[in-house]
């Protein structure tokens, strides 16, 4: 008998599965609450189930669990970066960021990434596999359990392209927002994409009030192609049209991520062009001074140029902020801790 990933099942699916082994419907609800509210990692903790049932579940429905390999806590703020080991011994990273409105967790959606963005450490080595819904959930669950503090916001902006793992992403989002589970509001969730137009449109048609963030990083196709291979497949006009469709369907303000790379995309001309690109949109731009990685020779834009870039956008009445550098002293940028671990252990 093939084992079933029980933590990836909806309550309806779990109820049907329990019926196949002769269990009443209320058992499914009990198990679901243990998994998605009490966040247990072992059937032995499910004390309102019989030992016989727990034995059957452990044999045929193994629990997906993440194991903490390492964690780094920032001395500048309360950011914590976690390295988790999956059950197949691959490793992924997640980040806890504390804000005045609550705890936010940035999770990975894949092991590695195939998108090839030139400034990102997580794409070095390519994509190994997609993460299961349960493995995405577990990043949130383990961090909440480890800290003893509720996670109120989730950002799918870690390693991987979420829309390259679309079906599992959607299942994860529905489980995460389920009132019978952790019940995180869809409005407190952000999904970041490098821009896959057909998936953006499909996501819009789901009509979930989730914030969508586009990894833009350039005001035109020429510059974007230098930084992001995905731009060779999809033009900026295609991506922007899909993004506008998302706004029309959901009414959610659009977010654009713009990593500033010295000498590549940080000129005042780029700021003016960017202003024109997003003019008239209900949007917000996050300016992100790029985190240098040793495998690339990109340099971080100097602070005065970052501020000047921001001023130009503001003069054009664009809503813009310079992203606060959370965990800058612990290599909290995407993929850096994982890569250091893999390199250090010759994995």
**What amino acid positions are annotated as catalytic residues?**
93, 334
Report the C-alpha gap between 15 and 254 in whole angstroms. Answer: 38
- Token digits for 6? 């029980």
Q: Are 182 and 146 in contact (CB under 8 A)?
A: no
Neighbouring-strand partners of residue 320? 285
C-alpha to C-alpha distance for 304 and 70, rounded to whole angstroms: 36
Q: Which residues contact 27 (CB under 8 A, 6 or more apart)?
A: 18, 49, 53
Name which of 243, 238, 234 is nearest 203 in CA terms: 243
Three-state secondary-structure class, residue 303: helix
**171 touches 5 (CB < 8 A):** no
Indicate the helix (H) or strand (E) that contains 164: none
The continuous run of DSSP H or E covering 295 comes out as none
Q: Using DSSP, state whether 118 is helix, strand or coil.
A: coil
CA angle 307-312-315, nearest 5°?
120
User: Would you tell me how many other CB atoms lie within 10 Å of the CB of residue 205?
Assistant: 12
How open is the CA angle 321-322-326, to the nearest 5 degrees? 120
Tokens at residue 53, please? Answer: 């049932």
Name the residue among 108, 87, 93 with its Cα closest to residue 165: 108
């Amino acid at each position: 008998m093939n084992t079933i990933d029980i933590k990836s099942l909806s309550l309806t699916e779990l109820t049907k599965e329990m019926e196949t082994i002769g269990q009443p419907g209320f058992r499914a609800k009990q198990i679901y609450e243990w998994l998605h509210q009490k966040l247990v990692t072992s059937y032995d903790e499910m004390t309102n189930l019989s030992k016989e049932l727990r034995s059957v579940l452990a044999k045929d429905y193994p629990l997906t669990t993440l194991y903490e390999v390492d964690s780094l806590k920032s001395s500048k703020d309360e950011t914590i970066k976690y390295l988790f080991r999956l059950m197949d011994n691959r490793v992924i990273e997640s980040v806890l960021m504390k804000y005045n409105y609550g705890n936010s967790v940035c999770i990975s959606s894949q092991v590695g990434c195939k998108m090839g963005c030139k400034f990102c450490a997580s794409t070095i080595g390519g994509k190994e596999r997609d993460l299961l819904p349960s493995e995405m959930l577990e990043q949130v669950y383990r961090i909440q359990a480890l800290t003893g503090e509720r996670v109120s916001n989730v950002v799918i902006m870690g390693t991987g392209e979420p829309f390259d793992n679309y079906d599992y992403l959607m299942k994860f989002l529905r489980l995460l927002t389920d009132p019978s589970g952790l019940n995180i509001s869809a409005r407190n969730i952000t999904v970041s994409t490098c821009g896959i137009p057909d998936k953006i449109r499909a996501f819009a048609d789901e009509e979930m009030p989730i914030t969508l963030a586009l990894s833009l990083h350039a005001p035109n196709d020429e510059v974007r192609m230098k930084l992001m291979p995905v731009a060779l497949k999809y033009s900026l006009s295609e991506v922007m049209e899909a993004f506008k469709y998302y706004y029309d369907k959901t009414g959610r303000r659009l977010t654009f991520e713009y990593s500033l790379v010295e000498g590549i995309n940080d000129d005042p001309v780029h700021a003016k062009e960017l202003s024109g690109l997003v003019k008239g949109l209900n949007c917000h731009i996050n300016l992100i001074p790029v985190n240098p990685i040793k495998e690339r020779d990109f340099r971080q834009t100097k602070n005065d140029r970052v501020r000047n870039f921001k001023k130009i956008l503001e003069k054009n009445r664009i809503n813009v902020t310079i992203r606060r550098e959370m965990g800058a002293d612990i290599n909290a940028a995407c993929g850096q801790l994982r890569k250091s671990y893999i390199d250090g252990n010759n994995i």
